[in-house]
A and B are shown apart, each in its own frame.
Chain A
Amino acid sequence: MMAVTVRTIRALGLAILLTVTALAAPARAVELGDAKAGEQLFRVCKACHRVGNGAENAVGPHLNRIFGRVAGSIEGFRYSEGLVRAGADGLVWDADNLDIYLENPKNLVSKTRMNFAGMPDPADRSHVLAYLRAFSDKPSNIPEAAPTATATDHNLDPAILAIVGDPDYGEYLSGECLTCHQKSGANEGIPSITGWPKADFVVAMHAYKKELRPHPVMRMIAGRLSDEEIAGLAAYFEGLD
């Protein structure tokens, strides 16, 4: 149930972002920095937050899969009312709003309990975000994927995004993907595409098709898929878990 909601919200968010970028550049487009530097900077955060393998809630909630998480949504963690309300209002963590939050938490959620003066330097914040991104949800391991994808990725005709794919056709076509991408979602050198939100999948594939993204194998594969075929694959992979 939860997953569906998150997905829907994210898909909606993306759709909105798409429309916006089609008209004008977003107000704030955060570039991810250097994860190694971020790891150093994260020491400050460690006073309250854990991230990584087996991380659990401490003074603050754990930060695994923070990208794409609805604000205030980890069950069993006692959030401030402000954060819970922000989540209910549709706040889903992405690079842009995390950047604002890190700059000064009270900028974004007035009554947050996060007692942190803020990180004034945009470069520092971009490093921390890069570090956190590595622990985020499927398909976190696709670096260009939403919610941190750059605007160029998103200049996709909304009509293409609206195509309803046939998951059965997608299942047949998926054979080609599964020679490299594991159905189980395991990533041993090739990113997971299992359970990937449909909109993200479509955006990414079209970015390869249009040769905006560099990977030669993916350009080749995407290059000969029709819009319907991409939609079918997206429908199929979203349904896997």
Chain B
Amino acid sequence: MSLSRRSILKGAAAGAVLTAAPMVMGANHGKPKVVVVGGGAGGATVARYLAKDSKGEIDVTLIEPTRTYYTCFFSNLYLGGFRTLDSIAHSYGKLASEYGINVVHDWAVGVDRDKKTVALAGGGAVPYDRLVLSPGIDFVDGAVPGWDIAAQNKMPHAYKAGSQTELLKAQVESMREGGVFVMVAPPNPYRCPPGPYERVSMVAHVLKAKNPKAKILIFDPKDKFSKQGLFQEGWEARYPGMVDWLDASFTGPLKEVRPDSMEVVVGGEVTKADVVNVIPAQKAGRIAELAGVTDEKGWAPVVPATMQSRMDENIHVLGDATNQGDMPKSGFSANSQAKVAANAIRGALTGSKVFPAKFSNTCWSLIDTDNGVKVGAAYEATPEKIAKTSGFISQTGEDAALRKQTYEESLGWYSGITADMFG
């Protein structure tokens, strides 16, 4: 996008937020309407905050195909046997009954930006004054040669939680004695930077107890990864000899996976595996692309102060789908961005006071029983991007009591954020 176009958009966005009087009346001269697509970390939070804080002044519709949302966060703990699947399942009941949100269980299949309507798979179109897209991620077609969505039963990704996670867990638990677990790790940027490595820790935890001669190989296109020192220290201490992290500069690139024969070809070598977890390269959830708000890399660029799309000021994009700057793609980030967006949207539609944007993130990971670590940062909105202002990370060599406390804190965070999303 040219600079001038960008500054015009920015100007328009700022104007919309700073004006005190209600700018937009509802499509039918009724209450202003906000439609939210995606009921995950970003979408559920923004819907709840809009409904709660506008006290009935805004009509909120949430479009989400599934009736039960399984959080990706803590889905690794389910793999490791630290959580049940039920304990990471959430329904939309309270958002409808306590907050008056119109929850529509359907897929959004298109956005008409001129008419300002969202088309549903089940037919019909929902009008909006402001649209929020928080559809999470989809996988880049052909990112891992030999793998496509039809292969996900043989080589699960488990990067959208639910049945995929159940499948991967079953595969790990029934692995033959001394078998090989392969993870094909994704290139940057992707959802939850420490996620693949926490997963390896959890798989190792299960194997150590059930199948101690088994091996874990990670084929990674990156030459470094999130919390690397902490994970590698933990693997060595808790799962000695079990985990091998192999980066592409050492092995050569991944050539293909063969789901039928359970083989992974890297460099010149063919590895026969028992379980293969393929986490492909990612892009914004497809509806963002259909709405025409994604860039050439497949993510949706946003104005940091309001989370408005840089391509359409009536659309806000949240969470994993965005290209925003320094924040990692995490549930915590999506939740944080949702509150900034809710404040901006409410200001634009009802004239309520708009406060300056503040963002933060903390990602906890579990390495083994009572061995938690965390990384986090604070961010501010600059015109160009969401920019990191300060941060922290757990240290290697921390004592067991601190690690346990960090783990317990993560349990508290999980309860906190899910209450903040679903009421």
Contact = CB atoms under 8 A, between A and B. Distances in A.
A, B co-complexed = yes
A224 B378 contact: yes
Classify chain A's interface size: 20 to 34
Contact of B392 (A178, A188, A217): A217
Contact of A220 (B392, B409, B416): B392
Contacts of B339: 175-176
A125 B156 CA distance: 58
B360 A220 contact: yes
Contacts of A186: 415, 419
Nearest to A224: B378
Contacts of A223: 378, 390
B20 to A, nearest CB: 15
B159 to A, nearest CB: 22
Contacts of A169: 355
B5 interface: no
Most buried by A among B362, B410, B416: B416
A112 interface: no
A236 to B, nearest CB: 13
B376 A216 contact: yes
Nearest to A169: B355
A179 B417 contact: yes
Interface in B402-417: 408-413, 415-417
B420 A190 contact: no
A77 interface: no
A127 B411 CA distance: 28
B353 interface: yes
A169 B411 CA distance: 28
A186 to B, nearest CB: 7
Contacts of B15: none
A168 B391 contact: no
A212 interface: no
Contacts of B358: 173, 176, 224
A178 B416 contact: yes
A187 interface: yes
B343 interface: yes
A173 B355 contact: yes
Contacts of B360: 176, 179, 220-221
A21 to B, nearest CB: 28
B412 A180 contact: yes
Given A188-B411, A189-B410, A220-B377, 19 more contacts: A169-B355, A173-B358, A176-B360, A179-B336, A180-B412, A180-B417, A182-B419, A184-B419, A188-B412, A189-B413, A190-B409, A190-B412, A190-B415, A191-B412, A216-B374, A216-B376, A217-B362, A220-B378, A220-B391
Interface of B: 49, 332, 335-336, 339, 343, 353, 355, 358, 360, 362, 374, 376-378, 389-392, 408-413, 415-417, 419-420
Q: Please provide the 4 A-B residue pairs with the shortest distance between their CB atoms, ordered closest to farther.
A: A189-B412, A190-B412, A175-B339, A189-B411
18 contacts: A172-B343, A172-B355, A176-B336, A176-B339, A178-B420, A179-B335, A179-B417, A179-B420, A180-B412, A182-B415, A186-B419, A188-B415, A189-B408, A190-B415, A219-B392, A220-B360, A220-B376, A220-B378
